[in-house]
Amino acid sequence: MKKLLLLSFAFLSLASCSSDDDNTPEVEIPTVGATLQPAVGGPNQPNQVYLDLSSEESKSVNRAAWDFGFSTGSEFRVVINGSVKMAVKKLATSDITLPQESDSDVAVGAGTTAASNGYVDNPTGVLAGAGAGIGTAIAEISATDADNKVYLVNLGFAVSTTQPAIGSVSVDGDARGWKKVRILRSGNGYKIQYADLASATFTEKVITKDADFNFTFFSLTTGNTVSVEPQKAKWDLNFTVFTNYLNAGTEVTYGYSDFITTNAKAGTQAYQVLVADGVTYADFTKAKVVEANFTVSATDQRMIGANWRSGGGPNTLPSIRTDRFYVVKDAAGNYYKVKFLGMTNAAGERGYPTLEYAILK
């Protein structure tokens, strides 16, 4: 039996770090199990952590380090940073020099923003759609410049630095303000124009596509592209704060902590297994994989989502759900079983997840 591996990824808050290194020896995928502790960073959950199951490598990036992700696929689609609760509204004009005003309705939160308003990206991760909450909040970028409208952009919130009560989270810091943004095509890439709301002038930058990645990411703060996701073939799971839809009579936008998405755009698939169905994690083998159960995850990145945990807040302590585990299939065709062992540190503070996984043979 192979030795149980314990990997603890160092906490990174403001700088991004990748363990991708061409000189690193290939790591054998564990058959018994590896126990991993992704560096989410505590109850403020400052980091987005990208985990590659086949190599046991991770990349941790401060979630306020980027604003827009420009798709590198054949479509010209742009996503916004839901981890800081960004929201956008398409305006009637294509003239970015015109002054604009903020709009309190353009926001994330139950009771304030209906999903059908289309102010946020569809949480499934599917980019295609024609608005009204389907597809990206920013319409596909047209080859005809005049068709590309200006967007009013609520930049959401900085990462909080407030220490919450034990078992709770504090993810929203100060409001990051507003911008107006217009995006055009530039050859096979993009051109972004952005300015303060009252400004008659704007800054313009060109964004190129790189097919090795799902997106090219851009920060309005730095005015440059930034490294966020690893190459699309080098990650499977993303631990993040997340803008989701919630059914509250009508479907509204809602911010989740402790959320996990799959790299569906690059082919990672997953499904949930309930112990009540007579299957245990310890006894689960490749022969018990049900291929049909992966189907939904091809078009929805939320198959793990927040389903792995329950509770958490002023009146209830958070806890993992021990009645379930997950089967993950990566883009290379490897199968894994994944279960969660904890979501807090020894002091009961949120934002310290622990998981165990093993490759299925």
In angstroms, the CA 177 to CA 187 distance is 31
Instruction: List the chain domain ranges.
Output: 68-226
Report the sign of the C-alpha dihedral through residues 83, 21, 42, 348, in that order: positive
pLDDT at residue 312 in the model:
61
pLDDT at residue 31 in the model:
52
Pairing of strands 5-8, 34-37: parallel
pLDDT at residue 14 in the model:
30
Mean pLDDT by groups of 10 residues along the chain of 361 residues: 36 33 41 85 98 95 98 97 98 98 92 90 96 95 98 98 94 98 98 98 98 98 98 98 93 96 98 93 96 98 97 74 97 97 94 97 88
**For tokens 């314990």, what's the residue?**
6
348, 166 in Cβ contact below 8 A?
A: yes
Amino acid at 187: G
Collapsed DSSP state (helix, strand, coil) of residue 298: helix
pLDDT at residue 316 in the model:
73
pLDDT at residue 112 in the model:
73
What is the DSSP secondary-structure string of 231-286? -GGG--EEEEEEEEEEEESEEEEEEEEEEEEE-GGGT-EEEEEEGGGT--TTT--G
How is residue 73 annotated by DSSP? S
**End-to-end Cα separation, the chain, in angstroms:** 14
How is residue 318 annotated by DSSP? -
Report the sign of the C-alpha dihedral through residues 326, 332, 333, 335, in that order: negative
